[in-house]
A and B are shown apart, each in its own frame.
Chain A
């Protein structure tokens, strides 16, 4: 049976890694292999986008904590035109949705965790809102240039894990009362497409399906022998993987169509730091 570190907790990043490429999961979380990632000239573009994404998440957190806009604005303006544009969209969204999507008790950058079978699961939410009518909204900020399709978004582990964990662990935020699946919705809000958010409504049936899915997936991971963590057959997934050269895979650039369709998944194939947005602790 697989030997994971004693304090290992499954997150959307590690689960998505396994689904994208079992070998990557093995190298990253079991072997802890550190390998120089061959980003080439594009590395700086990715790094820049990563830092902007981090800044945006940071800003959204500061706004949720009540830091005045006039203190934040000069910092954003100087940083980059793109970030400033996102910031303006965020302000408008905040203004418009103050009483609706964002109305209620706010939990920015909150982590929830719950056991499932032999493991624990963890999710760090950008913003969680407990509405006065008993409904709960999970807000997730996305800064990808292209808006992923509804299909791509629904296929993300995040779309299953986050609502599932809120139902499983939300009682701790709800005076000990369970959060029912029907009370939960998840909103992906796109800084580059603010008028086109994606809302996923949760249900008892989906909750059950997600529990089965997560249980099956984690049991499959735990049940594998080390040799069974095969490389993905889709070499396009290796394009920005830090282990591409370790696995002796060639660089196969994804087509622009694929980039648009799978922006989110591509982000998930980036070096570890990228996935740690909002999951960094000291």
Chain B
């Protein structure tokens, strides 16, 4: 796929949660191999939007999604679409790290094992590669088989990223992935995003404008369930077209 071609394409998306209209008539094309940040005030629907990309709303009973979300041209809300194969294409990095209740090694090997990699040598290679990709290898290589919950929060979050990368996704979804982290861990994760965009399309939800400015190529500004502005980072932050965006960027809307 070439750069700037749409990787995720959202068409006429509406989401209702428990009778509330959360997302209203969204249309966006999210480009391939770039970092796209979704910004907006709390409760505007940015996390909801992110979760529609890998259908994590499926687990909640009262969520209704209409419209289309195309990933590589395939409508993931088509009843015939098999969801595990869509989710495998996307690594999710949530707000707080949730390591699985097993060792560091098994956390990274969890995804590949599910998808059929059984041989120990193959798993060893994957684990080492992804732990190196997330700059964790040197810190944990001597205790791969101790529990993942013993790591610091920052390390856990990088482990979760490694775990997501291990299934070979094409897209990384980050849901305020640095909000629980200290500044050092935050900057490690941010640097990783910038590095990883060579191989992955990255979509981040963030409420930190400076973070959006640091890492993203494109910015989507969501307000009250609608997309107000969508464009290159420079343009949206420095020279917004819409009045609402201007106010948000200046800090009048929190």
Partners in one complex: no
Chain A interface (Cβ within 8 Å of chain B)? none
